[in-house]
Amino acid sequence: MLLGVDTGGTFTDFVYIDGQGVRIHKVLSTPQAPEKAILQGIDELAIDSNQLLIVHGSTVATNAVLEKKGVTCCFVTNHGLADLLTIGRQARKELYNLNPSPVDPPVPFEFCLETGGRLSAQGELIEPLTEEHITKLVSEIKSLAPEAVAINLLFSFLNDEDEKRIELAMPDGLFVSRSSNVLPEYKEYERGIATWLNAYVGPLVIGYLKRLTKSVRALSVSVMQSSGGTIAAEQAGEQAVRMLLSGPAGGLMGALHIGQMAGFEKLLTLDMGGTSTDVALLDGTISLTNEGKVAGYPVAVPMVDMHTIGAGGGSIAKVDSGGMLCVGPESAGASPGPACYGKGGKQATVTDANLYLGRISTAHFLGGEMSLDLQASNIAMGSLAQELGCTPKLAAEGVIKLANEHMARALRVISIQRGIDPRPYTLMTFGGAGSLHVCALADELEMETAIVPINSGVLSAFGMLAAPRSRELSRSLLGELLTMSIDEIEQSFSTMAADGQKELVAEGVPIDKIAKKYSVDLRYLGQSYTLPVTWSDKASVVGEFHQLHKKRYGHALDLPIELVNIRVSLAADMAKPSLALLQERSADEVLSCYEEKGLKVYQRDDLRPNDSVKGEALIVEKVATTYLAPDWQCKVSKHGNLILSKV
């Protein structure tokens, strides 16, 4: 019995699959103790947790970074580099602002400690790590009494012995994160940030996962990683930095899986939840990036390539000091939530605006299990309208239009700004609020086809069950490619692959089920940035790099090619969940609908393959609502997906 769980900022979503079919569920999240919402959902689904294989996406690491609520952490580096994380890349967010607001350093200066063990760029010893250094360092750490320590020595990816010595000397009970384990790559700032983030949230993740596994007593608990693969909960805490995009990665796995089943390979995806919206571009596969950012910090571990904005169903609408309407990024979250939730929220949100315009059915919200407070919502919308000096209807339309523009801009960032025309793609929207905006967003990008997958409101939870067990490993191996020993490169690949296979086998994955993929990061000699190329042999790799560089930048150069990093991707596909075929409609059966606030309302459960709905309408289900604009129509696929097209 499989249970996919996506813990979001507002709702926790469940997809339960057994021999009888698929069941879905939602409960309000409990941010202070996320496991409580998961236990509540299991109880309400009335399933035996002892027989469950649970795969879940967690926001614990993400929220701790966004809210700056990680643990106290010491940062250990070489002499003279205590301010490494504070200085960063010296890149300014506001290029022409001569008086930018000061930014708090990631680690307070008094918690940045220096020691010996310095290597040169060639791995030669410059300053040894002595016993006196270690004794002094341990004394300083005991005095500061942190909960975690991040160790980041220069060029430790060439020789990690000194980092290991420091790790062994640390006092008992400390969470220790060392760069040669977290991210053994060059670029000391990015490596340092990844190592610090891992230490900053690691104890929180470990504590949460221990409480969860102890409470549910399931057969196994796995966690979605930012790269789109899963890892056993027992190992996830040590690599907490790889969970920062845990939930969104599940959404992309679900989108890819259902898109392939429906015959759509080229997808522009939009996952709109209660707090944020994630957009991505899929072209038959999920793209990974090593240049992602979370809360402004570079996160150089592999993660799904997506763009996130602070726009969701709970985004608060307000009027700024200049009298202009603003929507987001502040969110009402799960508590108090939008005004219509009746939990004390006073400010109008995107959800309240959709409700006011009749695009949310009060009788079918969460399948009728959650009642909405229309009076509180109307009061909030009325207050906003009064500030704007217009009618509540105009205010609600303005909120929706502005939220749509925020999301359309995000979709342009992931497509048009990368030189990709979105019009040949299909827009797939999911998340609790995504399908309310699908037609307007497709219109904004001049796209003529969209898809709202079945159970779209819990697609991220479904995607957890479609994800493979995986590991993404990397290390820096610098040198001019054509002069490097092929044996050295191949041996490095083999060593890394063996380490990753060992971890997967420990999770119960048969070694013959593990697929390997090798790749290299290359650049022309003298460049700073790299391009990833699948590894085969030197001649093929060189030719592919020249072509890729010309495609990306418009030119190729007659310069030596430098190898920077090698990467190993290991994946073992699990049995992917399938979707049942819907029963065809009999000849004498008529599709029923009714009207609410002047709109036709259809129950999605009543739809059958090849059913067609045209014009302005609502299609309601337990976990989402699809708003079909007047100039759009939708047809139901054999699996129950809604295929939307421009009239």
Instruction: State the helix-helix crossing angle for 188-216 and 34-45, rounded to 10 degrees.
Output: 40
Q: Give me the amino acid identity at 500.
A: G
Q: Does residue 44 belong to any structural domain of this protein?
A: no
Band of residue 163 on the pLDDT scale cut at 50, 70, 90: very high
| Pair (632, 557) in one structural domain | no
Same domain, 543 and 614: no
267 confidence band (pLDDT: 50, 70, 90)? very high
* pLDDT value at residue 615: 85
Residue 368's pLDDT is: 67
pLDDT tens across 217-226, in order?
888 889 999 9
Three-state SS at 514: coil
pLDDT of residue 426: 96
Q: 423 Cβ partners below 8 Å, 6+ apart?
A: 445, 446, 447, 448
Tokens of 188: 């000391």
Token duo for residue 514: 């593990």
Please indicate, yes or no, whether residues 194 and 95 belong to a single structural domain of this protein.
Answer: yes
Spatial CB neighbours of 345, under 8 Å, sequence gap ≥ 6: 332, 336, 337, 338, 339, 376, 380
Which residue in 576, 574, 571, 575 sits closest to 514, CA to CA?
571
Mean pLDDT within 316-328:
88
Least confident of 72-86, 411-425, 514-528, 569-583: 569-583
Residue 375 lies in a domain: yes
Is residue 603, in this structure, part of any structural domain at all? yes
Give the range with max mean pLDDT: 190-199, 232-241, 338-347: 190-199
Within this chain, do residues 156 and 192 fall inside the same structural domain, yes or no? yes
CB contact at 8 A, 475 and 157: yes
Range in 55-69, 215-229, 267-281, 444-458 with the lowest mean pLDDT: 55-69
- All residues at 6 or more sequence positions from 417 whose CB lies less than 8 Å from its CB, including other chains: none
Regarding whether 633 and 554 lie in a shared domain, the answer is: no
| Three-state SS sequence of 516-585 | EEEEEEEEECCCCCCEEEECCCHHHHHHHHHHHHHHHHCCCCCCCEEEEEEEEEEEECCCCCCCCCCCCC
Nearest in space to 593 (alpha carbons), one of 352, 361, 355: 361
Of 140-144, 202-206, 457-461, least confident by mean pLDDT is 457-461
**Domain boundary residue among 402, 426, 455?**
402
pLDDT at 54 over 70: yes
Q: Single out the residue of 79, 77, 83 nearest to residue 178, CA to CA.
A: 77
| Residue 143 domain-assigned (yes or no) | yes
Residues 77 and 200 in one domain: yes
Residue 497 belongs to domain spanning: 468-572
Average pLDDT over residues 364-381: 82
CB 55 within 8 A of CB 3: yes
Is-contact 265 259, C-beta < 8 A? yes
Q: Which of 186-195, 286-295, 574-583 has the lowest mean pLDDT?
A: 574-583
Average of per-residue pLDDT across 168-188:
94
Q: What is the CA radius of gyration of the chain?
A: 26
Residue 611 and residue 522 share a domain: no
Is residue 59, in this structure, part of any structural domain at all?
no
Q: Tell me: the pLDDT tens digits for 390-445?
A: 999 999 999 999 999 999 999 999 999 888 999 999 999 998 888 999 999 999 99
Same domain membership, residue 193 and residue 78: yes
Task: Find, among 618, 599, 624, the residue nearest to 460 by Cα.
Answer: 624
Same-domain check for residues 82 and 186: yes
Q: What is the pTM of this model?
A: 0.86
Q: Which of 402, 426, 457 marks a domain boundary? A: 402
- Secondary structure of 24-76 in the HEC alphabet? EEEEECCCCCHHHHHHHHHHHHCCCHHHCEEEEECCHHHHHHHCCCCCCEEEE
In sequence order, the β-bridge partners of residue 606 are none
Same domain, 604 and 554: no
Same domain, 601 and 497: no
Q: Are residues 98 and 131 in the same domain?
A: yes
> pLDDT tens digits, residue range 496-536?
999 999 999 988 889 999 999 999 999 999 998 899 999 99
* Separation CA 140–CA 112 (nearest Å): 10
Angle between helices 392-414 and 374-388 (to 10 degrees): 90
Q: How confident is the model at residue 47 (pLDDT cuts 50, 70, 90)?
A: confident
Residue 312's SS3 state is: coil
Domains held by the chain: number:
4
Evaluate whether residue 295 is within a structural domain.
Answer: no
Cβ atoms of 265 and 284 closer than 8 Å = yes
Q: Are 71 and 107 in contact (CB under 8 A)?
A: no
CATH code at 139?
3.40.50
Q: Is residue 367 very low, low, confident or very high in pLDDT (cuts 50, 70, 90)?
A: low
Task: Tell whether the model's pLDDT for residue 299 goes beyond 80.
Answer: yes
**558 Cβ contact partners less than 8 Å away, ≥ 6 residues apart:** none
CATH number for 535? 3.30.1490
Tell me the angle at which helices 161-169 and 131-144 cross, rounded to the nearest 10 degrees: 50
Question: Is residue 155 in a domain?
Answer: yes
Distance in angstroms (rounded) separating the CA atoms of residues 76 and 178: 9
Mark which of 204, 232, 264 sits at the end of a domain: 204
Contact 357, 400 (CB under 8 A): yes
Pairing mode, if any, of strands 599-603 and 617-620?
parallel
In a domain, 255, yes or no: no
pLDDT for 466: 87
